[in-house]
Amino acid sequence: MTLDAKIPDGDLEHKWTKYRSTIPLINPANKRNLEVIVVGSGLAGSSAAASLAEMGYKVKVFCFQDSARRAHSIAAQGGINAAKNYQNDGDSVYRLFYDTVKGGDYRSREANVYRLAEVSANIIDQCVAQGVPFAREYGGYLSNRSFGGVQVQRTFYAAGQTGQQLLLGAYSALMRQTGMGTVQMYARHEMLDIVVIDGKCRGIIARDLISGQLERHFGHAVLLCSGGYGNVFYLSTNAMGSNVTAAWKANKRGAFFANPCFTQIHPTCIPVTGEHQSKLTLMSESLRNDGRIWVPKQKDDPRKPNNIPEEERDYYLERRYPAFGNLVPRDVASRAAKERCDAGFGVGTSKMAVYLDFRFNRKRYGHLEANKQGNHHPTDEEVWKLGKDVITEKYGNLFDMYKQITGEDPYEQPMRIYPAVHYTMGGLWVDYNLMTTIPGLYALGEANFSDHGANRLGASALMQGLADGYFVIPYTIGAYLSQEIRTKAIPTDSEAFATAEQNVNETIKHFLDLKGKLPVDHFHRELGKIMWNKCGMARNEAGLKEAITEIRNLREEFWKDVRVPGAANEFNPELEKAGRVADFFELSELMCMDALHRNESCGAHFREEYQTADGEALRDDANFSYVAAWENKGNNTYEMHKEDLKFENIKIAQRSYK
């Protein structure tokens, strides 16, 4: 099978506009008979569901949480990019496109990224109209800030809760449609399989998590907006429930999984404190606007950070990357932190942390505020106090969060941070229409692979989720559904539905009958350790091969010895977890295979064998300028298909932030 990305012809600048105007339309009467299933209610899912319902489709939305508003998009902190050029600093659609492709280390599809940059401005308009309270300047205009990997200010934000505000905007649109009856909401429902009939996706099997009943739902199209798979590492910034199950079941039914090894490790997270740790908390990238990252120049320096004089601090990002300094992209910042800690310069009790220090900018802000207030000779205390107010306004919730978790006051001493798994650039392979390799099955947002290449820039995930949901799928789905207007709803008592439900039932029964000894979390934690150590920030051939063996052994043990208490027909969180971890066990092996086959370093994928003399990632464009899309052949065997990446509008260069 050859992969056809269905990229429209024509100039990059006009592809989307022209294509959008030529997609077949569906008359409103027919739309009312077309049913669309949306799995996941985050930014991509909520925005897609609301938009499709507004257009007249019959929509069903499924989420495993108790409300659509809980989806993990809610936790995104820093902001959302858009090429508005409000700051008059030279931003443009092309520059956002360019930054994103470069930030992704030239492993993303040009046409998709350009479209993303094009619609980015509409997203801000839409959200403001919904009542999203973005930060504003005193004149009443929208405010912007900087994010990593770019040199313009194009990030819109709402304190450190941008994801929350955007999701609540999309959620409110979704609730409006639900109230009008155009959307049927299925909260506390988990999709456990998709149903494929005659090569087309025709529905899903979902479990009502309260009653435990399996349900069959028909749809002319199914949209997977189920997020990323970072929880394969057990410890990540993802929510506890974030999982790969929806995407993985699709992979098992024929949807290719693209670039699974591209996982983003976020540089600024609160370090692990012990074995009990269940999740890691991100400290927004926006903090790097005002925080400076450093370690002591002396190994095992016993002094408190505030007692270490300026000249004995190593601001290693500013030293290594003078052009971008603390605002280098995430992959670069993470690796640099790991390098310092591995070399023995780490701080804190675990020595696996670096400092993120606000003292310098707090003073700077203090002086600025004093000046604004007409106080041109402020005392040090006044400066310190005024500076704190500015920092509080910008990052108050993050500072509070840090204090809650660590018990230390970040206003008085630098934060201790360390990289942690955050986002997955890989995902289901989709074409320009966001359709997977199964006709009628789409993947949106983090669940697909399309826009971020090998590394995502900060504040771009929110942009992509909403772009896919509000402004891409409402058009592109017409290309498929216009051919389906004659398809009557398929009765869910048909054989395909029955078989799919039977399969799900058997898996559940198997788990409950096992009566093993060890809890699901035990296996998940062990799997996470293997992945973090051998398929994490740095990978090598030997380690990946070991990891594959270890995963296989652990998986075998899991299927023999896991203990799932309770019954199938009740609210049973352990049963839910077991199913999700089972899927992680299969995905993790594929991730290692993908990492092993990609004999280059690019973006977040850093193979130790492939690096420059000064430790930077060494890409191999001649051999690896392609998307690796994996077809599941059953029994943990896969066949790789390549989609070659062509860069016609951008000059490929070594990514440099120096």
Partner 1 sequence: MLSGAISNRLGVLVLLIISYILNSMNLTLKIWRQQNRTAKGGFKTYKVSDVSPDMSFLEMIDVLNDKLIREGEDPVAFDHDCREGICGMCSMYINGRPHGPGKGITTCQLHMRSFQDGDHITIEPWRAAPFPVIKDLAVDRSAFDRIMQAGGFISVNTGNAQEANNILIPKEEADHAFSAAACIGCGACVAVCKNASAMLFVSAKVSQLAQLPQGQVEAKERVLQMVAQMDAEGFGSCSNTYACEAECPKLISCDNIARMNREYLKSSLT
> Does residue 656 touch partner 1 according to CB under 8 A?
no
> Does residue 75 touch partner 1 according to CB under 8 A?
yes
Distance CA 263, CA 572 (A): 30
Smallest distance from partner 1 to CB 442, Å: 17
Site string for partner 1, 351-390 (x = CB under 8 A): x---------------------------------------
Asked whether 308 and 373 are in contact (CB, 8 A), the reply is no
Q: Which amino acid is at 241?
A: G
Nearer of residues 139 and 491 to partner 1, judged by Cβ: 139
> Does residue 128 touch partner 1 according to CB under 8 A?
yes
- SS3 state of residue 197: strand
- Choose, by CB under 8 A, the member of 92, 122, 151, 482 that binds partner 1: 122
Smallest distance from partner 1 to CB 141, Å: 6
Residues 499-528 that bind partner 1 (CB under 8 A): 517-519, 521-522
610-619: Cβ within 8 A, 24+ apart: 615/335, 615/339, 616/332, 616/654, 617/105, 617/331, 617/655, 619/105, 619/106, 619/654, 619/655
Residues 472-491 that bind partner 1 (CB under 8 A): 474
Burial class (CB in 10 A: 0-12, 13-18, 19+), 438: buried
Q: In the structure encoding, which two tokens stand for residue 519, read together?
A: 């809890």
- Choose, by CB under 8 A, the member of 142, 498, 568, 650 that binds partner 1: 142
> Which of 95, 330, 359, 580 is an active site residue?
330
Residues 546-575 that bind partner 1 (CB under 8 A): 563, 565-566, 570-574
Q: How far is CA 273 from CA 48, 287, 383, 407, 418, in A?
A: 39, 22, 34, 12, 11
CB atoms within 10 A of CB 424: 32
Asked whether 261 and 594 are in contact (CB, 8 A), the reply is yes
CA 476 to chain centre: 22
Smallest distance from partner 1 to CB 67, Å: 5
Spatial neighbors of 319 by CB under 8 A, at least 6 apart, are none
Asked whether 292 and 315 are in contact (CB, 8 A), the reply is yes
Nearer of residues 255 and 287 to partner 1, judged by Cβ: 287
> Does residue 269 touch partner 1 according to CB under 8 A?
no
> Does residue 106 touch partner 1 according to CB under 8 A?
no
- Choose, by CB under 8 A, the member of 278, 307, 635, 637 that binds partner 1: 278
Nearer of residues 243 and 632 to partner 1, judged by Cβ: 243
- Choose, by CB under 8 A, the member of 2, 21, 88, 349 that binds partner 1: 349
Distance CA 398, CA 395 (A): 5
> Does residue 158 touch partner 1 according to CB under 8 A?
yes
> Does residue 298 touch partner 1 according to CB under 8 A?
no
Nearer of residues 130 and 361 to partner 1, judged by Cβ: 130
> Does residue 325 touch partner 1 according to CB under 8 A?
no
> Does residue 179 touch partner 1 according to CB under 8 A?
yes
Site string for partner 1, 404-443 (x = CB under 8 A): xx-x------------------------------------
User: Scanning the structure block, which residue is given the tokens 């899309």?
Assistant: 629
Q: Which residues pair with 325 in a beta bridge?
A: none
The bridge status of strand 257-258 relative to strand 427-428 is: antiparallel
Asked whether 44 and 447 are in contact (CB, 8 A), the reply is yes
Smallest distance from partner 1 to CB 125, Å: 4
> Does residue 178 touch partner 1 according to CB under 8 A?
yes
- Choose, by CB under 8 A, the member of 54, 382, 408, 631 that binds partner 1: 54
List the 313-314 sheet strands across, edge first. 263-269, 415-424, 354-357, 292-296, 313-314
Burial class (CB in 10 A: 0-12, 13-18, 19+), 502: exposed
> Does residue 152 touch partner 1 according to CB under 8 A?
no
Smallest distance from partner 1 to CB 110, Å: 25
Nearer of residues 66 and 609 to partner 1, judged by Cβ: 66
Site string for partner 1, 209-248 (x = CB under 8 A): -x--------------------------x-xxx-------
- Choose, by CB under 8 A, the member of 120, 155, 161, 460 that binds partner 1: 161
> Does residue 92 touch partner 1 according to CB under 8 A?
no
Asked whether 458 and 330 are in contact (CB, 8 A), the reply is yes
Is 330 a residue of the active site?
yes
Give catalytic residue positions: 330
